[in-house]
Amino acid sequence: MAQTLVCGCHARNHRLKSVPPKLKPLTIMAGDKDKLDINTQLVHAGGHSDPPVGLPTATPIYASSTYTYESMAEIDQVFAGDKAGYIYTRYGNPTVNAFAEAMRVAEGGATACAYSSGMAALHAALFACELSPGAVVLASQDLYGATTNLLQTIFGSFGIKTITADFSNLDVVRAQANEYKPRVFLAETISNPLLKVCDIDASAEIAHAIGARLIIDNTFASPYLCRPLQHGADIIVHSATKFLGGHADAMGGVAVSGDQADSMALVGVMKLVGGVLSPWEAHELLRGLKTLAVRMDRHCENAAALAEHLVNHPHIGRVYFPESGAAEGRAVAQRVLRGSRAGLVSIELKDNTREAAFRFMDALKLCVRSTSLGDVFSSVLHPATASHRDLPPARRQQLGINEGLVRVSVGIESIADIIADIDQALEANSGSVSLGAHQTARPH
Ligand SMILES: Cc1ncc(COP(=O)(O)O)c(C=O)c1O
């Protein structure tokens, strides 16, 4: 299905079909450039050249903020929405649209729109649910901290109330739904950092029974491990900054809806709020998508091997992995995730203190102390001082995010090297080997 580009310079919102449009080669100033003054030549020489003979096999980076046409009549038609065409990159860009379209297909959606970050995508998805003052959002208690902040701070200031529930306890979700009648449910496929898998089918059923919509943040799974629309979700959101890009060099986000009618709102937020994905980043993300399947297979294979290695390790108190929880959780993981797998493992040190976690992380030589996840290299993060820093300690403890908890985003390196690095850091941490962070050679 073709993505819809909404052209909105006018008060009327027109929908233009078939993106990208077939642009005619421009002939502006062709042939005259040799006769122009040097000041003019420098500005115009090389501009508006004809498209190359032979189609590029990779999606080109359309690094242009504006677009021109042969005549004012044509521009007028495009502005009026009577003719397909790009106007201004905040309203649409061929490289950005190619990424959004790739994600629409990968998620099996009806429409998609890309943004400058995962947060911008979340904002757009929530906006598409037409929340008005007094409306309630039922959010997973395990959401990424900034998402909860977005709900409470930005949407809260418009009179929208957020309540939270443990989405792994469906009785609580059902009870909250019946009591507060939320308009929107918001959860993550795989929660951060305890890697609980959301029962999307059951959550969608509860939401739809009261006329609510279910937004799923699929960042930790990617469409390779889970396609939430197939499990009943209404809108999918990604931080493309993570597994989709996969190389820690691009930031972006995308929202994919199963309902074409959401296109107007999703594109409208892009145009009017302006959290636009850059064509350069879109190119990086498109390239990332091409290797997503092979990277995810290796991430997951390595993560499963690491989890298995650590589960009986003398310095580890607990290992979190989708397959490691109670039987009920394992059944959900098997239904929701391809191969019941994930590319991350969270570990709680036996010495469950911040000092021990920092010592362990400082002793790592290969795994990078990073503030993100989903990259080709293995990385570690300390949730209590990073993603969940803003929570009061008592609340963190209630959620099971203890001081000795470390989240490992398992990379695609040799698993033997990853295990060796983690083992030596655990040994160093236990005091039997003396290694300092200053002695380590880091890849990043
Ligand atoms: C699950 C999840 N959703 C959304 C976001 C926000 O994405 P971004 O940083 O691209 O805005 C993050 C960032 O870490 C995340 O982990």
Residues 137, 184: Cα–Cα separation, whole Å: 5
Residues 319, 309: Cα–Cα separation, whole Å: 10
User: In testing the pocket of ligand 1, which one of 123, 219, 249, 281 has its CB within 8 Å of the most ligand atoms?
Assistant: 219
Interior/surface letters 399-424, b for 16+ CB within 10 angstroms, e for the rest: bebbbbbbbbbbbbbebeebeebbeb
| First-to-last C-alpha distance (Å) of the chain | 41
Task: Name residue, tokens 């609510």.
Answer: 212
- Atom of ligand 1 minimally distant from the CA of 143: 1
Query: How many residues are recorded in the chain?
Result: 444
Q: Output the CA 349–ligand 1 centroid distance in Å.
A: 26
Residue 429 has what pLDDT? 78
Domain locations in the chain as residue ranges: 94-290, 292-439
- Atom of ligand 1 minimally distant from the CA of 253: 10
The CA-based diameter of the chain, rounded to the nearest angstrom, is 79
Residue 326 has what pLDDT? 75
Q: Output the CA 193–ligand 1 centroid distance in Å.
A: 13
Residue 18 has what pLDDT? 38
Q: CB of 189 closer than 6 A to ligand 1? A: no
Say yes or no: do domains 94-290 and 292-439 share a fold: no
3-state SS assignment for residue 178? helix
Q: Output the CA 167–ligand 1 centroid distance in Å.
A: 19
Residues 116, 341: Cα–Cα separation, whole Å: 28
Beta-carbon contacts of residue 356 (< 8 Å; ≥ 6 apart): 349, 404, 429
Among protein residues, the one with the nearest Cα to ligand 1's atom 13 is 239
- Is the link from the previous residue into 20 a cis peptide, with omega within 30 of 0? yes
Among protein residues, the one with the nearest Cα to ligand 1's atom 6 is 118
* DSSP state, residue 154: I
Task: Name residue, tokens 């809260």.
Answer: 156
Residue 29 has what pLDDT? 52
Q: CB of 115 closer than 6 A to ligand 1? A: no
Question: pLDDT 10s per residue in the chain (444 long)?
Answer: 333 343 333 333 333 333 444 444 445 555 688 999 999 999 998 877 677 889 999 999 999 999 999 999 999 999 999 999 999 999 999 999 999 999 999 999 999 999 999 999 999 999 999 999 999 999 999 999 999 999 999 999 999 999 999 999 999 999 999 999 999 999 999 999 999 999 999 999 999 999 999 999 999 999 999 999 999 999 999 999 999 999 999 999 999 999 999 999 999 999 999 999 999 999 999 999 999 999 999 999 999 999 999 999 999 999 999 987 777 889 999 999 999 999 999 999 999 999 999 999 999 999 999 999 999 999 999 999 999 998 899 999 999 999 999 999 999 999 999 999 999 999 997 764 433 333 333 333
Both tokens of residue 5?
């580009």
User: In testing the pocket of ligand 1, which one of 188, 239, 281 has its CB within 8 Å of the most ligand atoms?
Assistant: 239
Beta-carbon contacts of residue 335 (< 8 Å; ≥ 6 apart): 199, 201
The residue among 56, 58, 63, 59 whose CA lies nearest residue 47 is 63
User: In testing the pocket of ligand 1, which one of 115, 144, 148, 222 has its CB within 8 Å of the most ligand atoms?
Assistant: 144
- CB 272, CB 234: distance < 8 Å: no
Both tokens of residue 367?
């795994």
Q: CB of 192 closer than 6 A to ligand 1? A: yes
- Atom of ligand 1 minimally distant from the CA of 240: 10
Residue 30 has what pLDDT? 53
Both tokens of residue 320?
């979190």
CATH number of 292-439: 3.90.1150.10
Q: CB of 193 closer than 6 A to ligand 1? A: no
Question: β-strands 235-239, 253-257: how paired?
Answer: antiparallel
Q: CB of 203 closer than 6 A to ligand 1? A: no
Residue 165 has what pLDDT? 97
Q: Output the CA 331–ligand 1 centroid distance in Å.
A: 26
Q: CB of 239 closer than 6 A to ligand 1? A: yes
Among protein residues, the one with the nearest Cα to ligand 1's atom 15 is 144
Q: CB of 251 closer than 6 A to ligand 1? A: yes
Write out the CATH class of domain 94-290.
alpha beta
Residue 443 has what pLDDT? 35
- CB 220, CB 344: distance < 8 Å: yes
Q: What is the secondary structure of 259-308 as a DSSP string?
A: -GGGHHHHHHHHHHH--PPPHHHHHHHHHHHHTHHHHHHHHHHHHHHHHH
Residues 190, 168: Cα–Cα separation, whole Å: 11
